[in-house]
Amino acid sequence: MTPFDSPPVPPSGLPYTKEVADATAALYKKVERVIPEIEWPVHAPYVHAINRLKAEKNAVILAHNYMTPEIFHCVGDLVGDSLALARMAAETEADVIVMAGVHFMAETAKMLSPEKTVVIPDVRAGCSLAESITAEDVRLMRRRYPDAPVVTYVNTSAEVKAESDICCTSANATKIVESLGAKRVIFLPDEHLGRHVASQTDVEIILWRGACEVHERFTAEQIRDYVKPFGDIAVLAHPECPQDVLAEANYVGSTAGMIDYVGNRKPGRVLLVTECSMSDNVAAEHPDIEFVRPCNLCPHMKRITLPKILTALQTLEPRVEIDPAVAARGRQAVENMLAVR
The answer regarding whether domain 18-126+301-315 maps to CATH 3.40.50.10800 reads yes
Q: Which residues neighbour 125 within 8 Å (Cβ) at sequence distance 6 or greater?
A: 101, 102, 103, 300, 301, 303, 304
Whole-number Cα distances in Å, 56 to 70, 73, 116, 135 = 21, 20, 16, 39
Q: What is the CATH number of domain 218-292?
A: 3.40.50.10800
Q: What residue spans in the chain does CATH classification 3.40.50.10800 cover?
A: 18-126+301-315, 130-211, 218-292
Rounded CA-CA distance 276/217 in Å is: 13
User: Sorting pLDDT into bands at 50, 70 and 90, what band is 12?
Assistant: low
Omega of the bond leading into 318 within 30 degrees of 0 (cis): yes
Indicate the Cα dihedral angle 236, 240, 244, 245, nearest 10°.
-30
Asked if 246 and 197 count as a contact pair (C-beta separation under 8 A), the reply is no
pLDDT value, residue 255 = 93
Q: What was the pLDDT predicted at 13? A: 63
The Cα 71–Cα 281 span in angstroms is 10
Identity of residue 245: V
Domain 130-211 coded CATH 3.40.190.10? no
- Please, which residues have CB within 8 angstroms of residue 281's CB and are 6 or more apart in sequence? 34, 65, 67, 69, 72, 73, 79
CA quadruple 67, 255, 275, 112: dihedral sign: negative
DSSP 2: -
> Under a CB-based contact definition with an 8 Å cutoff, are residues 270 and 249 in contact?
no
Mind listing the pLDDT tens digit for each residue in 182-215? 999 999 999 999 999 999 999 999 999 999 999 9
> Is a pLDDT exceeding 90 seen at residue 5?
no
- For range 226-242, the mean pLDDT: 94
Q: What is the 3-state secondary structure (H, E, C) of 191-220?
A: HHHHHHHHCCCCCEEEECCECCHHHHCCCH
